[in-house]
Amino acid sequence: MLKKLALAALFAAIPAASQAWFDLGHKVVCEIAQKQFTQKTKEALKDILKGGDFPSSCVWPDLRKGRGDPLAHTAVWHFLNLEDGENYFVKDHINKQGDVVQALLLCASKLADPNLPLNEKKIYLSFLGHLTGDIHQPLHAGHGSDLGGNKIAVTWFGARQQTADIKESHGQNPALCTQHGEVFDSGLGECLYTRKSTMNMNLHGVWDGFLFDRFISITPELEKIPSNDPLLYKAYATYLLAHVDQPQNWQYKTFWDWAQESIALSRAAYDLSKDLRHGGAVYSLGKDYYQRNIGAAHKQLVVAGLRLGQTLNRIFDKAFDDSASATSFDTEQDKLKSRLLELVPVLEL
Residues that bind Zn ion (CB under 5 A): 20, 62, 78, 134
Sort 349 into a burial class: Cβ within 10 Å, 0-12 / 13-18 / 19+. middle
Minimal distance, residue 64 CB to Zn ion, in Å: 10
Q: Which residue lies nearer to Zn ion by CB, 14 or 94? A: 14
Q: Could you give the dihedral angle defined by the CA atoms of residues 90, 96, 99 and 101, in that order, rounded to the nearest 10 degrees?
A: 50
Minimal distance, residue 60 CB to Zn ion, in Å: 10
Q: In angstroms, rounded to a whole number, what is the distance separating the alpha carbons of residues 302 and 29?
A: 7
Minimal distance, residue 208 CB to Zn ion, in Å: 9
- The angle, 0 to 180 degrees and rounded to 10, between the axes of the packed helices 22-34 and 118-135 is 110
Minimal distance, residue 80 CB to Zn ion, in Å: 12
Cβ contacts of 307 within 8 Å, gap of 6 or more = 132, 250, 251, 253, 258
* Residue whose CB is nearest to Zn ion in the complex, by number: 78
Q: Which residue lies nearer to Zn ion by CB, 134 or 185? A: 134
Q: Which residue lies nearer to Zn ion by CB, 52 or 133? A: 133
Q: Which residue lies nearer to Zn ion by CB, 60 or 329? A: 60
Minimal distance, residue 215 CB to Zn ion, in Å: 21
- The angle, 0 to 180 degrees and rounded to 10, between the axes of the packed helices 287-316 and 118-135 is 150
Q: In angstroms, rounded to a whole number, what is the distance separating the alpha carbons of residues 349 and 343?
A: 18
Residue 170 phi/psi, 5-degree rounding, is: -90, 0
Q: Which residue lies nearer to Zn ion by CB, 103 or 201? A: 103
